[in-house]
Structure 1
Amino acid sequence: MVTIYDIALKTGYSAPTVSKALNKTGGLSNSTRKKILDAAKELGYRPNMTARALTTKKSFLIGVIYEDADMQRGFDHPLFGKILNKFRECLEFAGYDLLFISHALIGEKKSYVEHCYHRNVDAVGIINPLSADNEIMELAESDIPCVSTNFIIPGISTVVTANVDAGYKAASCFIKNGHKKIAYIGGTYSQYNMAAIDRLEGLKKAFKDFGLKYDESYVKFCHKWSRAESHDAMKELLERHDDITAVFVANDNMAVGAMEYVKSIGKRIPDDISFIGFDDEMISEFYSPPLTTFRQDIKTIGELSAEILMNRLVGIPVGECVRVPAIFIERNSVKKL
């Protein structure tokens, strides 16, 4: 096996200098660093991660909690899969590898914390957990640095979309286009995952600012973030109120379900009912009509999450919650009355 001493012998530099070049530390000139790295590549050098871990007391592993029991779309999830990609890219650039943390390990049930200690991860990125249950709270209270990109968990720094602001923007768009009978369809929510509630809160705030009365009977929450449930929710809302002219739906997949019901009863979009969705999924651009929606700033969320975790690892103070503005994408699903 090629060692740093072999590289030192080939290049004429000392072993400590070779180590600095390989670990991207120290004040080496670009030419010195390049000569050492080229020699390492030529000799086929591979770092001994076990020895590195023993020396630094770090595993250079970041645990990832990524569950999707709700939408059941796995890595195809329009938000979380893409956030994970950007999160991974930033951390790999910093020299870390990712390891998925689950409740099962070699056929044995373990808590998140037990799994983290077993794998000796340096930190954890919570992309989307099953729920903010006791295991997540146990993780928050442990000595393992964490960051969350969706659940707002006490004790864990979070990067999340500014959902209240987006809800306000959606309602404002409808109201400025003459709509007054505005409905809302949301997905599931919990104490720590409030996206669906926050988007409704933004809508309610806009109603107040524009002088419209908020009526809870124009709101329907679904048990899942699914197209089928939203289809049925739209049916129920229109049976309650046949005067609805606009609907804000908490994600694009659900918006399509609601629009499919509207079309099935002979109503036209946006002539009879206007729609705004959320997430800017691929279908939203190519649906007929193309859906006005919000695009979450996945790049910023992923990068900020990685940066916060790196800061936690070296002891730099970080904020409790960062809210990233969503980007409003106007297409053809909103009509001016």
Structure 2
Amino acid sequence: MGVSLKDVAQRAGVSIKTVSNVVNNYPHVTPQMRAKVQRAIDELGYRPNLTARHLRKGRTGIIAFAVPELGNPYFAELAGAVIDAAAQHDYTVLVDHTAGLRERELLVCQEFRSHVIDGLILSPIHLETADLVARQETSPLVLLGEREYDAPYDQIAIDNVAAARDAVRHLLDLGRGRIAFLGSRTGRERQPAHLRLRGWREELAAAGREADERLVVATDGYGRADGAAAMAELLERGERPDAVFAYNDLIALGAMRTLTERGLRVPDDVAVVGFDDIEESRYGATSLTTVSPDKQAIARLSVDRLVERLSGGAVSEPRRISPGHRLVVRESTTGGRSGSHRESTARSSGASAPTAE
């Protein structure tokens, strides 16, 4: 038999209700009483029965986190942050992989595993506003990603335009003039790739420079091979840039590989900036300068909004929340001088100043 609330109450010399208040972290418990009960919990090795707790509330204790590509380090790192944030609320996370397919996004959004999960955090690529408005599933939904939906759901998304402008401004400040953009996409204008390309254009225009569309290369995907192929295409067209701003870190890393194979030096010949600040960006032969979204804040905000709606109390209207970002300066733009880079104030209200690592 496991240790019960009654056992803890007897050891601490308090009521079962007091122990319950401490276990559930209710605020109206004095520090002295909380410490007394916690000592009894530690001595007896009490562990709360989370399953029973959730069942009493009519919940399963499970939330789902659905991403388009679990093999992408950014989503893997974000999933870890979501799991940690959910654990603070005693929730378990079921991670699902949609492969970026519309039919799987619809399945996850509409009804998939609705009997298993209490709520869903979804990072969609192909869903439209009409799909979300038509959703009949009543479990709470929080959206991640940069597309704007006119639908009654919370959305957590950084300001991609401002983040892209920070990256391009850094390259301009270094005296780079031919700045390529790798990773553009055709189709919906509110996709992240379009927003980052828009930031590229806006910052060049703000600096009085004409955006050379010959330096924009579309990719089929967002992996290392796509970045390597895009960089090769640009060089083979005779459009050698002196800097590259890539849609994400994987494309940037692939581009750096091609540059090295072609005998070009990073950053001496071509400076490179990525986006996402995945762990791999810090440990290559040449560490990668990158835009770092606040993944911990994204995870915390998405879980908090979901749990708030599951609580059944008074809930605010759905909101679009923008966590911060920062530009992390490393060797791919400044060589061995990253530590001496002059910090400047980022324009995004959610962003922090560039930092050197």
Aligned to 2:121: 125
Deviations 1:140-165 (A, max 9, x none): 55322222232544333222222211
Structure 1 match to 2:326: 327
1:222 CA drift (Å): 0.6
Q: What count of residue pairs does the alignment treat as equivalent?
A: 323
TM-score by length of 1: 0.80
Fraction of identical pairs, as percent: 28
Distance in 2, Cα, partners of 1:3 & 1:324: 41
User: Within 1, Cα distance between the matches of 2:51 and 2:290?
Assistant: 48
Aligned equivalents of 1:61 and 1:159: distance in 2?
20
Structure-2-length-normalised TM-score: 0.76
CA distance in 2, matches of 1:151, 1:291: 23
CA RMSD of aligned residues (A): 3.4
Give the deviation of 1:50 after TM superposition: 5.4
Structure 1 unaligned blocks of 5 or more: 104-108
Does the Cα contact within 8 Å between 1:311 and 1:317 map onto a contact in 2?
Answer: no
Given the alignment of the two structures, is residue 216 of structure 1 paired with residue 199 of structure 2, yes or no? no
What secondary structure is seen at the aligned counterpart in 1 of 2:332? coil
Rounded Cα–Cα distance in structure 2 between residues aligned with 1:289 and 1:8: 58
Structure 2: gaps of 5 or more residues: 99-103, 336-357
Residue 174 (structure 1) aligned with residue 171 (structure 2):
yes
CA gap 1:66/1:193 in 2 versus in 1, 3 angstroms: farther
Larger RCO (CA within 8 A; separation ≥ 6):
1
Q: Is the 8 A contact 1:296 1:325 kept in 2?
A: yes
User: Which runs of at least 4 in structure 1 moved beyond 6 Å after TM superposition?
Assistant: 133-136
For 1:230, give the aligned amino acid: G
Find the partner of 2:93 among 90, 98, 122.
98
**1 CA distance for matches of 2:287 and 2:46?**
53
What is the match of residue 257 of structure 1?
254
Are 2:117 and 1:142 equivalent residues in the alignment?
Answer: no
- What is the Cα deviation at residue 117 of structure 1? 2.5
Instruction: Report the Cα offset of residue 318 of structure 1.
Output: 5.2
Shift of the 151–271 alpha-carbon distance from structure 1 to 2, 3 Å rule, reads closer
| Change over 3 Å in CA distance of 1:45–1:174 after alignment to 2 | closer
Q: Which position in structure 2 is the counterpart of 1:106?
A: none
The answer to whether 1:274 aligns with 2:275 is no
The change in CA–CA distance for 1:234 and 1:50 in structure 2 (over 3 A counts) is closer
Q: What does residue 89 of structure 1 align with?
A: 84
Task: Determine if the alignment matches structure 1 residue 247 to structure 2 residue 244.
Answer: yes
1:290-315 CA deviation, whole Å, 9 max, x = no partner? 33222222222222222222333343
Distance 2:323 2:231 in 1: 29
Instruction: Show CA shifts across 1:251-310 (max 9, x none).
Output: 222112212222323333333322222223344334444332222222222222222223
> 1:88 touches 1:98 (CA, 8 Å); kept in 2?
yes
| Contact 2:133–2:152 (8 Å) recurs in 1 | no
- Out of 224, 229, 234, the residue aligned to residue 226 of structure 2 is 229
